[in-house]
Amino acid sequence: MTVLIIVLIVVAALVIYLIAAYNGLIRRRNTIENAWSQIDVQLKRRLDLIPNLVETVKGYAAHERETLDAVISARNAAIDAPDTPHDQANADNMLTGALRQVFALGEAYPDLKANQNFLALQEELTATEGRVAYARQFYNDSVLGYNNKLEQFPTVVYARALRFERREYFEADEAARTAPTVEF
């Protein structure tokens, strides 16, 4: 009789552990989905600000058509990019590079640099970039926790059986990791 009670207690403890571990994986997976949504919200916010920025710059630097077209092309590519961290990161990196060129125009055109609309848009985009960076960090931290949990024993045994898969990080490409050169 005591052997049966011990076996039942062990089985109950195992079932409770499996339920808790499964719920932990689901919670972490949902955290990743939420974090990805936050990145998406901030990227869309930035995409919505770009047409206003381009229109403001057009009035002052109309002959910089190539730069403005590059921004519009990068924006359209970001809108059409597949909804995966790798593809979104690539599109985001292209857009960031194009925006850097537009902000460089602000330095080349003093009237543009003094324009209140340009300054407000530049400030808004800078704030949005900060939000995007925070959302990326939160997403990557969530992915780290989830991937670690998937690889830890004994979770790894049944996580594979239940087809939980690793998630990829939102990473910058090599060009975005290098500091721009400044010459005087």
184 residues of the chain, pLDDT tens digit each: 899 999 999 999 999 999 999 999 999 999 999 999 999 899 899 889 888 888 888 777 766 778 888 888 999 999 999 988 888 888 988 888 888 888 887 777 777 777 888 888 888 888 998 999 999 999 999 999 999 999 999 889 889 999 999 999 998 665 544 444 433 2
* pTM of the model as a whole: 0.77
Q: Which domains does the chain have, with CATH numbers?
A: 2-173 (1.20.1440.20)
Distance, CA of 58 to CA of 65 (rounded, Å): 8
Tokens of 170: 């939102």
**End-to-end alpha carbon distance in the chain:** 87
The tally of CA atoms less than 13 A away on the side-chain side of residue 99 is 25
Q: According to the model, what pLDDT value does residue 179 have?
A: 43
